[in-house]
Amino acid sequence: MAQRIGAHMTLSLDGFGTGPNQRLEKPFGDGEAENLHRWMFEDGDNNRDELAAGGAYEAYVMGRNMFGGRREWDLDWKGWWGGEPPYAAPVFVLTHYKRQPLVLEGTTIHFVTEGPESALAQASAAAGGGNVGIAGGVSTLRHYLNAGAVDTLHLQIAPLILGAGERLWDGLNVTLEPTGARYTRLATHLHFRVTSPA
């Protein structure tokens, strides 16, 4: 089976993946953005079903802000999740700042300064033919979608209106073919095949 590039992201009803003014104290920004991911923790077994919908990933790519915010590296910083990341595979972080790989429980975080194409190529090689997940954030996912690199997109739409922040739809230029949908108590789960740029 050919390698597949998939992506998961939680958005508000108005398309925002984060609120405004992201910072160390408020990683999802101001307003109700911290409630975007309640479905992951409060929807019981349903969250496992949705997280598994894209299949297993053997490597991940993410943007710098998703790993650790827009600031100079603090070499003691191990990401928003601390020493126990939710990734059980290699992670490749896009950044302009060089840093040695960070070995954590179940994963190694690699820091890529050569751009998104290099990060994806390194993740694909690390996956050894397995699937690669684009973990976010919003601008990173939008870049890979517009580049035609993503095969499947899985969105969790939380019943919130944020009104400001980082909005996935702004500047997005792809064709999405629906392949599935269902709802849980705290989110509507939408699945798409990314067919081609619009």
Domains plus CATH for the chain? 5-18+26-68+84-196 (3.40.430.10)
pTM value? 0.89
Which residue would you say has higher pLDDT here, 52 or 189?
189
pLDDT tens column, 155-164: 999 999 999 9
Residue 23 sits at the vertex; the CA angle it makes with 21 and 26, to the nearest 5 degrees, is 90
Q: How far is CA 126 from CA 1, 47, 73, 129, 148, in A?
A: 17, 27, 24, 8, 20
Rounded distance, CA 101 to CA 81, Å?
Answer: 16
Tell me, what's the pLDDT at 148? 94
pLDDT at 41: 83
Mean pLDDT of 74-89: 78
For 72, residues 6+ apart whose C-beta sits below 8 A from its C-beta are: 97
The mean of the pLDDT values for the chain is: 87
Average pLDDT over residues 62-74: 76
* Residue in 145, 138, 133 with CA at minimum distance from that of residue 193: 145
